[in-house]
Structure 1
C-alpha cells in the first residue's frame, strides 16, 4: 500500500514539476534559439561599445590621420578604414554604439514611465479621467511619429538629449494603450477586490497588485521599443537633427558617408549594418520574450 502511494506521488511530481513563474519564462525563452542568438549578439555589441577603450587606441573625435583619409577597410592600423577626415571607422563605430544604445534605452524607459502611469490610472479609475487621457492618446497616435519628432526637434533644437525627449513624447501612447488594456483585464480579479475590501489605498493596489500582473507584456513592448528608438534616432541624426557633427553616432556616420556612396560606400554600409544588427537582435529578443510570457506556450 505504501509503495503504491509512493508511486502515485512520483507520478504526480513528474507530471506537475514544481517551478516558479519566472523560471518557467526563462526556460521557454532559452528554448527559442533565435531569441538566444539575439541575446548573445546584443551582449557582444554592448560589451564592445561599453568597453570601447579596451578595443581601440584611437579617440573618435581628436585622432585624425590626414595621410590616410578615406582609407579602405583592411588598411594598416585601420581594420574598417577611415572617413573623410582620417578618423578610424572602427573607433567611431564603438563609441557611436554607446550613443545609440543609451538613446534607445533612455527613450524606452522615459516613454514607459509616462505611458504606464497614464495607462494605469485611466484603466483603473475609468470615467472622465479615462476618456480624457485616452482621447489625448488617440490624438497622439493619429500623427506620424517621425513628423511629430521632427516638429519637436525644430522647436527644442538639435541635440542628443532633445532626440530622447522627442522620441519619448511620440512613443508613450503605445505603452499607455497596452497598459490600459492589461489593467482592464485584471482590475476586477479576486485579489484586487480582496485588497479593496482590506481597505488598501488605490495607489497601493495599483502598484502592488495590478501593475505586477501586467508586467509581462510591458517588458516585451519595452524591449521592442528600444530597437525602434535606435532606428528612429539614427533617422533624425541622418537628417542632421541630432548630435553634433563631430560626435560619434551611427546615424551621424550614415549622414556623413552619403556624399561618398560611389567612392567609399563602406562609410554608410558599416554603420548601417551595425544599426541593422542591433535592431534585429532586439526584435529577436522581443519575439522570444513574447512567446515566453504567452500562457499558451506553457507546457
Structure 2
C-alpha cells in the first residue's frame, strides 16, 4: 500500500521541473535575472521617498542623464526618470501578483462551489461568468478609476479583482 501518493507525485514533479531548468542554461539565466530584477526593484523602492520623487521641478526640466544625480535624466516635470520607473515597476508587479492570487482564490472557491452543488447552481454560476467575460475589462477599470476620486494601489487591486 502506497502512503501519501499525491505528495510523492508533487515532489517528483518539482524535481523534474528543477532538472529541466538546470539542463536549460538560457532558462536558468533568465530566471536568475528576473529574480535579481524583482529583488532590486523592491529593495530600491524602500529607499525612495515617493513625495520627493513626484515633486515637480521646472528648473530641472529635461535634464540630461547623469546630471543632478539623475541616472536616466529628468522628464518634462523635472522628475527623476529612474526613480519613477522603479516606483512604477514595484506598483505594477505588486498589483499583478495581488490580482493573480485573488483570482486564484476566487476561481478555486467558485469552481468548488459550482462542482459541489452542480445542476442549477452550476448553470447559474457559469452564465454569470459568461456575462462577466463579455464585459470589456479595460473600459470597466477606466470607469471605476474615474468614479473613485482618491484611490490607492490596494483599492485598485480590489476593484481589478472583480
Of 89, 95, 114, which residue of structure 2 is paired with 1:97? 89
Query: Match for residue 168 of structure 1?
Result: 161
Deviation for aligned residue 1:137: 0.6
For 1:90-138, what per-residue CA distance to the aligned partner results, in whole angstroms no more than 9, with x for missing partners?
A: 2222222222211111111111111111012213432122111111111
1:131–1:31: structure 2 CA closer, same or farther, 3 Å change rule?
A: farther
Q: Which has the higher contact order (CA 8 A, sep 6+)?
A: 1
Corresponding pairs, count: 149
> Is 2:134 the partner of 1:142?
yes
Larger radius of gyration: 1
Q: Secondary structure at the match of 2:69?
A: coil
Structure 2: stretches of 5+ with no match in the other structure: 1-10
Query: Match for residue 130 of structure 1?
Result: 122
Deviation for aligned residue 1:152: 3.2
Question: 1:69 and 1:164 mapped to 2: Cα distance?
Answer: 33
More deviation in 148-157 or 129-138?
Answer: 148-157
Q: State how 1:149-164 maps to structure 2 within 5 Å.
A: 149-157=141-149, 159=151, 160-164=153-157
RMSD, aligned α-carbons: 2.7
Deviation for aligned residue 1:141: 0.9
- Contact 1:153 / 1:166 at 8 angstroms: preserved in 2? no
Structure 1: stretches of 5+ with no match in the other structure: 1-18, 170-299
Query: Match for residue 52 of structure 2?
Result: 62
Question: 2:27 and 2:18 mapped to 1: Cα distance?
Answer: 11
For 1:160-212, what per-residue CA distance to the aligned partner results, in whole angstroms no more than 9, with x for missing partners?
A: 2332123211xxxxxxxxxxxxxxxxxxxxxxxxxxxxxxxxxxxxxxxxxxx
Question: 2:140 and 2:45 mapped to 1: Cα distance?
Answer: 37
Q: State how 1:100-111 maps to structure 2 within 5 Å.
A: 100-111=92-103
For 1:138-159, what per-residue CA distance to the aligned partner results, in whole angstroms no more than 9, with x for missing partners?
A: 1111122212222333444452
